[in-house]
């Protein structure tokens, strides 16, 4: 065939065969060696993975009223290269979005394919931007956490960030339950990067977050917050908090702090406003801690309520240190020592107990350890071991100094007195359930452990009732419901280490009714001014909250009047100096 | 064997027609899939939009019903509420049990009279 063909043609033929051979080699290389990466590059150009966001779980109160829900809002983005007249577009968008023109222009001038303009805007804003009809400006739906009650229970609920991750409160603590699992849809896209409908080849559905049911009652929460706010404003306090608790189950019905914040717009509030003082802050409780010394003294039978103590007419020197009572007292029965909150009487009684037994009861009442409430950031408080105590420590600790506690610890300790001597674990989450209502996790009330006997608890309830009836907390009295409780006014410690004479922590922790307690209410105010006594600033808040709660629960007031368990003669034992001092210190007389 | 090439023409033609038909049907099927997908997507978009709108409305209702909002509104209108005194409370007992006698409701009869 090739005979006689010119050598030139033959050369071309060889060249062609060689070129073909090279192509074959290349083909083999492509097919066997580089097939995978090349195939990946090709598929990445037309394949599309769409993230399917799960719905974050709803948070309900105990009556299944929504406290936190998720809504879808539009986020606005730009494809800068598609926007033609960037100046005009910036001008128009600035008017609608309320962002400066320069900022928008900067975003539109970026050499990027995508730039966020505003995320999760209101439906009205989205509608207004859509009406501008600017090419290159588009929308995407994003889930947004919304709190319909605004500031209500904000410290309990916490809030989420832009990507719906829990940042504070229960949103943070139970983020893994609430957030759900992201899903994916695998599809193909066209040349304009749009998803081609009908070509989805794989879909992994998202799993929505679980719902959470709290022990909070939003109505009680609301009225507690309203009254706390009024007290906080009236006394210009630096901070304030309130807890309403069921003393038998430990269920928290309301928990609030001041200052507060709106979780719908949390980032505008300072971090200090977002701190849950109830569990994160510890303080010296002052006289409200006397309930621990008194309970342990009665439980150990170191004193009887009728035992008499000489209160040194208000001034007592002990181990080189002078202790004072706000109101001078002479001889007093132990029950009156607590009723009138005598520091001197309490420290004298505490000496009968000794430091080891006092420490044992401090620990038994749960101080110095976390209560285990389901809120993040809980602190222990500080209770030092008796081996490190000074000679003054026993006296100081018995009256609430040299020891720091949290508000929730005090509420739990008072619950133990109210319920007959059992320390309960506070509970704020009742259950977690999935979208179908099936319970995923139930937070049962833990079996309470006994810290004092029923008799001691009853004796303490009687003493605490007298505190409200005729002691330092008369402003807490609720007619027909007979509340009981203990006031506290603690000097704050200055940075220099000395006790301040102008900064106080006022508190009132009580329960109602005293003979069949239904609720424990703790009110604490940090640096109230100009008045700073627990019986003046906190007791009225307790009274207002207790009155409304009893009415809300349709608990009828009792018609019979309260009869003090204090024997009639006991008041006569209070010496003459009291009467004198009462006249002298009219403003201070009863409200420590 | 038939060596006349013209005799193969109908077979080739039939094969070409079959292939063409299958190809057209395939393209048609793909077009239909796209159209249906588009329709499903549009319906889904409408559904999602309605659900989202519903959620926003639900949020607004919850917000309006919230004790915080109600209280703010009452304060703005200077409406002061207070707890009623004991004499102001009327306690209503349970309604009397219905006694049915010979098919007649006595409570209703009494009411009619």
Helix A407-418 and helix A454-470: axis angle, to 10°? 110
What DSSP letter does each residue of A211-241 carry, written as one string? Answer: EEEES--HHHHHHHHHHHHHHHHHTT-SEEE
Among A148, A152, A547, select the one facing B59 at the smallest CB separation: A148
Distance from CA of B93 to the nearest CA of A (A): 15
pLDDT for position A580: 30
CB contact under 8 A, A71 and B67: no
CB contact under 8 A, A141 and B52: yes
Residues A548, A551: Cα–Cα separation, whole Å: 5
The mean pLDDT of A220-249, rounded to a whole number, is 94
Residues A559, A117: Cα–Cα separation, whole Å: 65
Residues A67, A65: Cα–Cα separation, whole Å: 6
Confidence of residue A95 (pLDDT cuts 50, 70, 90): confident
CB contact under 8 A, A197 and B37: yes
- Which positions 55-94 of B are in contact with A (Cβ < 8 Å)? 55-56, 58-59, 62-63, 65-69, 71, 83, 86
CB contact under 8 A, B59 and A72: no
Strand partners, A511: A484, A520
Taking contacts as CB-CB distances below 8 angstroms, the residues of chain B near A547 are 83
Q: State the pairing for strand pair A429-433/A211-214.
A: antiparallel
Q: CB-based burial of residue A341 (10 Å sphere; 0-12 exposed, 13-18 middle, 19+ buried)?
A: buried
Topology adopted by domain A50-214 = Penicillin-binding protein 2a (Domain 2) (3.90.1310)
Among B53, B66, B86, select the one facing A150 at the smallest CB separation: B66
CB contact under 8 A, A71 and B41: no
Where would I find the beta strands (DSSP E) of A293-399?
308-310, 315-318, 321-324, 331-333
Query: What's the distance, CA A354 to chain centroid?
Result: 37
Residues A337, A305: Cα–Cα separation, whole Å: 9
Q: Are A459 and A484 contacting, i.e. CB atoms less than 8 angstroms apart?
A: no
- For B16-58, write each residue's pLDDT tens digit: 999 999 999 999 999 998 899 889 989 999 999 999 999 999 9
- For residue A569, give every residue at least 6 positions away whose Cβ sits within 8 Å of its Cβ, in sequence order, or none: none
Confidence of residue A323 (pLDDT cuts 50, 70, 90): confident
Taking contacts as CB-CB distances below 8 angstroms, the residues of chain A near B59 are 69, 71, 146, 148
**Which residue would you say has higher pLDDT here, A314 or A477?**
A477
Q: Nearest Cα to A54, choosing from A208, A212, A211?
A: A208
A96: left (phi over 0), alpha (psi -120 to 50) or beta: alpha
Residue B52, H or E segment = helix B9-65
Q: Nearest Cα to A311, choosing from A131, A560, A574?
A: A574
CB contact under 8 A, B41 and A197: yes
Q: What CA–CA distances, in Å, run from B52 to A58, A69, A73, A123, A184?
A: 15, 12, 8, 10, 20
Q: Are A293 and A358 contacting, i.e. CB atoms less than 8 angstroms apart?
A: yes
Residues A542, A509: Cα–Cα separation, whole Å: 8
Q: CB-based burial of residue A414 (10 Å sphere; 0-12 exposed, 13-18 middle, 19+ buried)?
A: buried
pLDDT for position A294: 93
Q: Nearest Cα to A291, choosing from A457, A519, A176?
A: A457
Q: Are A228 and A277 contacting, i.e. CB atoms less than 8 angstroms apart?
A: no
Residue A212 has pLDDT above 90, yes or no: yes
Residue with tokens 């209770």: A383
Both structure tokens of A294: 């008194």
Taking contacts as CB-CB distances below 8 angstroms, the residues of chain A near B86 are 557
CB contact under 8 A, B37 and A196: yes
Both structure tokens of A479: 């007619």
Among B56, B65, B69, select the one facing A71 at the smallest CB separation: B56
Q: What CA–CA distances, in Å, run from A54 to A208, A264, A585?
A: 5, 20, 64
Write down the domain spans for chain A.
Answer: 50-214, 218-260+274-584
Among A150, A198, A222, select the one facing B34 at the smallest CB separation: A198
Among B38, B40, B56, select the one facing A123 at the smallest CB separation: B56
**Residues of A annotated catalytic, as ranges:** 287
CB contact under 8 A, A148 and B67: no
pLDDT for position A314: 83
Both structure tokens of A411: 């509420």
pLDDT for position A573: 34
Where would I find the beta strands (DSSP E) of A422-518?
422-423, 429-433, 439-442, 449-450, 484-493, 499-512
Distance from CA of A278 to the nearest CA of B (A): 21
- For A182-195, write each residue's pLDDT tens digit: 999 999 988 888 88
pLDDT for position A575: 31
ipTM: 0.77
CB contact under 8 A, B59 and A69: yes
Residues B52, A127: Cα–Cα separation, whole Å: 14
- For residue A18, give every residue at least 6 positions away whose Cβ sits within 8 Å of its Cβ, in sequence order, or none: none
pTM of the model: 0.82
Taking contacts as CB-CB distances below 8 angstroms, the residues of chain B near A223 are 67
- Report phi then psi at A204, rounded to 5: -110, 110
Among B37, B63, B67, select the one facing A218 at the smallest CB separation: B67
Residues A336, A590: Cα–Cα separation, whole Å: 12
Query: What sign has the CA pseudo-torsion A530, A534, A537, A538?
Result: positive
Both structure tokens of A276: 């849950």
Q: In this structure, what DSSP letter does residue A109 have?
A: T
CB contact under 8 A, A197 and B38: yes
Strand partners, A491: A504
Mean pLDDT in chain A? 88
**CA-nearest residue of chain A to B63?**
A148
Both structure tokens of B15: 């094969």
CB contact under 8 A, A198 and B40: yes
Helices (H), A354-398: 355-364, 393-398
Residues B113, B99: Cα–Cα separation, whole Å: 16
Taking contacts as CB-CB distances below 8 angstroms, the residues of chain A near B33 are 198-199
CB contact under 8 A, A557 and B69: no
pLDDT for position B78: 79
Best to test chain B binding among A148, A206, A481 (most B CBs inside 10 Å) = A148
Q: Are A429 and A537 contacting, i.e. CB atoms less than 8 angstroms apart?
A: no
Q: In this structure, what DSSP letter does residue A203 have?
A: E
Topology adopted by domain A218-260+274-584 = Beta-lactamase (3.40.710)
Residue A76 has pLDDT above 70, yes or no: yes
Best to test chain B binding among A55, A71, A153 (most B CBs inside 10 Å) = A71
- For residue A435, give every residue at least 6 positions away whose Cβ sits within 8 Å of its Cβ, in sequence order, or none: A208, A210, A211
- For A496-513, write each residue's pLDDT tens digit: 888 888 899 999 999 999
Distance from CA of A424 to the nearest CA of B (A): 30
Residue A561 has pLDDT above 80, yes or no: no
Distance from CA of B68 to the nearest CA of A (A): 6
- For residue A356, give every residue at least 6 positions away whose Cβ sits within 8 Å of its Cβ, in sequence order, or none: A386
Confidence of residue A263 (pLDDT cuts 50, 70, 90): very high
- For A20-40, write each residue's pLDDT tens digit: 999 999 999 888 888 888 888
Write down the domain spans for chain B.
Answer: 5-81
Distance from CA of A241 to the nearest CA of B (A): 18
Share of chain A above pLDDT 90, in %: 54
- For A416-475, write each residue's pLDDT tens digit: 999 999 999 999 999 999 988 899 999 987 788 899 999 999 999 999 999 998 888 899
Residues B17, A439: Cα–Cα separation, whole Å: 63
pLDDT for position A2: 52
């Amino acid at each position: 065939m090739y005979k006689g063909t010119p050598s030139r043609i033959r050369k071309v033929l060889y060249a062609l065969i060689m070129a073909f051979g090279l192509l074959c080699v290349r083909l083999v290389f492509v097919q066997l060696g580089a097939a995978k990466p090349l195939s990946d590059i090709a598929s990445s150009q037309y394949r599309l993975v769409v993230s399917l966001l799960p719905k974050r779980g709803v948070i309900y109160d105990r009556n299944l009223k929504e406290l936190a829900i998720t809504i879808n809002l539009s986020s606005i983005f730009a494809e800068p290269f598609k926007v033609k007249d960037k100046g005009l577009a910036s001008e128009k968008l600035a008017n609608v979005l309320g962002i400066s023109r320069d900022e928008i222009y900067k975003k539109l001038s970026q050499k990027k394919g995508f730039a966020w303009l505003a995320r999760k805007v209101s439906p009205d804003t989205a509608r207004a931007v859509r009406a501008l009809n600017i090419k290159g400006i588009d929308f995407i739906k994003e889930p947004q956490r919304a709190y319909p009650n605004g500031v209500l229970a904000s410290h309990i609920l916490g809030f989420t960030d832009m990507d719906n991750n829990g940042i504070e409160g229960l949103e943070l603590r139970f983020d893994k339950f609430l957030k759900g699992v992201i899903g994916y849809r695998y599809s193909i896209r066209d040349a304009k990067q749009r998803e081609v409908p009908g070509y989805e080849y794989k879909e992994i559905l998202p799993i929505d977050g679980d719902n959470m049911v709290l022990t909070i009652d939003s109505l009680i929460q609301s009225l507690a917050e309203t009254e706390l706010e009024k007290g906080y404003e009236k006394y210009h306090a630096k901070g304030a908090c309130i807890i309403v608790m069921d003393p038998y189950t430990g269920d928290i019905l309301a928990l609030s702090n001041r200052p507060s914040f709106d979780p719908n717009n949390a980032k505008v509030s300072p971090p200090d406003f977002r701190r849950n003082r109830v569990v994160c802050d510890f303080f010296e409780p002052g006289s409200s801690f006397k309930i621990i010394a008194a309970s342990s003294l009665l439980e150990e039978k170191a004193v009887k309520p009728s035992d008499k103590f000489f209160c040194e007419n208000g001034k007592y020197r002990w181990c080189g240190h002078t202790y004072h009572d706000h109101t001078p007292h002479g001889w007093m029965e132990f029950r009156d020592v607590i009723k009138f909150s005598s520091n001197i009487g309490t420290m004298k009684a505490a000496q009968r107990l000794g430091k080891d037994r006092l420490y044992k009861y401090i620990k038994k009442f749960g101080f110095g350890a976390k209560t285990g409430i389901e809120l993040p950031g809980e602190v222990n408080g500080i209770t030092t071991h008796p081996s490190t105590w000074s000679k003054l420590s026993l006296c100081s600790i018995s009256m609430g100094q040299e020891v720091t506690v949290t508000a929730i610890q005090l509420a739990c300790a008072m619950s133990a007195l109210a319920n007959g001597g059992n320390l309960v674990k506070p509970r704020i989450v009742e259950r977690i359930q999935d979208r179908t209502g099936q319970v995923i996790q139930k937070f049962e009330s833990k079996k309470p452990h006994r810290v004092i006997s029923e008799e001691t608890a009853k004796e303490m309830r009687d003493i605490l009732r007298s505190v409200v009836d005729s002691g330092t907390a008369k402003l807490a009295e609720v007619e027909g419901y007979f509340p009981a409780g203990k006031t506290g006014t603690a000097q704050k410690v200055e940075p220099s280490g000395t006790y301040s004479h102008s900064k106080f922590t006022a508190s009132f922790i009580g329960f109602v009714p005293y003979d069949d307690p239904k609720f424990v209410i703790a009110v604490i105010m940090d640096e109230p001014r100009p008045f700073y006594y627990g019986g003046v600033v906190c007791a009225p808040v307790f009274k207002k909250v207790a009155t409304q709660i009893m009415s809300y629960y349709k608990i009828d007031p009792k018609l019979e009047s309260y009869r003090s368990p204090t024997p009639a003669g006991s008041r006569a034992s209070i010496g003459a100096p009291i009467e004198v001092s009462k006249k002298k210190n009219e403003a201070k007389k009863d409200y420590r | 064997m038939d060596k006349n090439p013209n005799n193969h023409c109908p077979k080739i033609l039939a094969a070409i027609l079959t292939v063409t038909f299958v190809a057209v049907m395939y393209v048609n099927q793909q077009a239909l899939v796209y159209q249906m997908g588009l329709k499903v997507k549009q319906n889904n978009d409408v559904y999602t939009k309605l659900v989202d709108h519903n959620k926003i409305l639900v949020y607004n209702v919850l917000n309006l019903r919230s004790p915080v909002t109600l209280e703010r509104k009452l304060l703005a209108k200077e409406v002061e509420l207070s707890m009623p005194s004991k004499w102001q409370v009327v306690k209503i007992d349970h309604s009397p049990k219905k006694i049915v006698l010979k098919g007649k409701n006595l409570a209703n009869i009494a009411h009619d009279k």
